[in-house]
Amino acid sequence: MSRMQRFRESWQDVSVQTTSPNGCIHLTNRGDREFRITCDDSWFHRATLGDFTTQLGRLFKLALVERTQAYNRHKEMVTGLQITPIDGSRNPHLQTFVDKRDNLAVEGVSADGTVSIASVGLTHFVITIDSQLWARRDRLAVQRALDEAGTAMVADQFRKMYELKQAGH
């Protein structure tokens, strides 16, 4: 098995945990296949839907940074390759990749359609939670729907990044 194959397989077992700025929502990513949200019960029941989705958006931005850093550290450790940021300013081909990556639109929707997470360039997140789901104040149901939507979004991002790389960018 090549070092890259070993990296791809072992990355799926790497967990990255991130906490929202207010300390009340926690996200665990495992490789490119799992997305789990937990939140503080007392805060959840006090929060407005707007406050909740704002904290989620901030959490997702932080998680992207932490996940990318963990990915690069793990890749360096397993493959022995030095990972450096892509600098498209010196290479128009790389700049095309960076531009397409930065404008990549991804989305995930829960199985029942009550939660959707959309992102452009994985820097701007729009989280939609059905008002009836929110009105029930069932934290576990909201977390479950977020898990499903987040896992679907990560899968969509993985698929689209693969396609972008396969297109030669």
- Token representation of residue 43: 């805060």
Asked if residues 121 and 102 have their Cβ atoms less than 8 Å apart, the reply is: yes
At residue 131, does pLDDT exceed 60?
A: yes
Q: Which residues contact 12 (CB under 8 A, 6 or more apart)?
A: 30, 31, 32, 33
pLDDT digits (tens, 9 = 90+) for 27-37: 999 988 889 99
- Statement: the pTM of the whole predicted model exceeds 0.85: yes
Spatial neighbors of 79 by CB under 8 A, at least 6 apart, are 3, 4, 6, 7
- Residue 158: φ, ψ to 5°: -60, -45
140: confidence class by pLDDT, cuts 50, 70, 90: very high
Tens digit of each residue's pLDDT (9 = 90 or more) over 46-79: 999 999 999 999 999 999 889 989 999 999 999 9
Q: Distances in Å between the alpha carbon of 38 and those of 2, 60, 138?
A: 36, 13, 12
Is the pLDDT at 96 greater than 70? The verdict is yes
